[in-house]
Amino acid sequence: IIKLQKGRKNSLEKDCSIFDHCIITNVKVFLKSIAYPYDNLNFTFAKNNFTLLYDMFTSFQESYYEKSTRNPILSPSTFLMHAPIIVIDTSN
């Protein structure tokens, strides 16, 4: 799980429970020379191009709890505005 924040260190005025986009377009995790995910993500939060990240977020719950249904705690709009986290499942 990757979450990014900017401009919140030592600031009492800013809410530390909210995460930031930080203008990134791709993320990879390397474990024993294997890249997860294999393909580039090519997401852009500023252009509302985050559906793949939201799908990765919701499918992780399904994989982790070994259930066939998804019940995400965050709606797509809340995910985009307050919690743009990146979840990479390395179990497959």
Whether 8 and 14 have beta carbons less than 8 Å apart is answered as yes
* Domain count of the fold of the chain: 1
Most confident of 12-16, 36-40, 66-70: 36-40
Whether pLDDT at 17 is above 80: no
pTM over 0.85? The answer is: no
Whether pLDDT at 75 is above 90: yes
Percentages (nearest 5) of helix, strand, coil residues in the chain: 25, 10, 65
Domain carrying residue 46: 1-92
Give the type of residue at 11. Answer: S
pLDDT in tens, 45-68: 888 899 999 999 999 888 888 888
Rounded to 5 degrees, φ, ψ at 49 are -100, 75
